[in-house]
Amino acid sequence: MENPLVAALVITAIGMSLLFLALLLFYGLLTLATRQRQSRPPSGPPVAATKGPSHAGQEMMYQAAALAVALARAEAEQASSLVSAPPGPTDLQIPSQWWSLHHQRRLARNQSRQRAP
């Protein structure tokens, strides 16, 4: 192996074959894990053969959902009342000095393009 081109080709061939063997190994492991997972019976309780919850059960679910939403809104309102609002106008946010400088530079740079002769 005196020729560097031959040595590079041999190293490349060995490296590529190891790479593809590793890919095949991982593909085999994934396939084996998938088959193992699919062959297991479901571990959860058996599902009832009913079409859905009864009318009374559905009404209770709606009430529970409404109660949960009401509680979440009450907690959010309570948390927002504990946090004091920052002083000054809340609708208008004053940009920082860095943003103002950036905006002024962009306008000054494009000023020559905006004016037509």
Report pLDDT digits (tens) over 11-21. Answer: 999 999 999 99
The domain limits of the chain are 7-39
- Using pLDDT thresholds of 50, 70 and 90, give the confidence band for residue 89: low
Using only C-alpha atoms, the chain has a radius of gyration, in whole angstroms, of 34
What's the pTM value of the predicted model, to 2 decimals? 0.33
Helix, strand, coil in percent for the chain, rounding step 5: 70, 0, 30
- 88 Cβ contact list (under 8 Å, min separation 6): 94
Report pLDDT digits (tens) over 11-47. Answer: 999 999 999 999 999 999 999 999 988 877 666 666 5
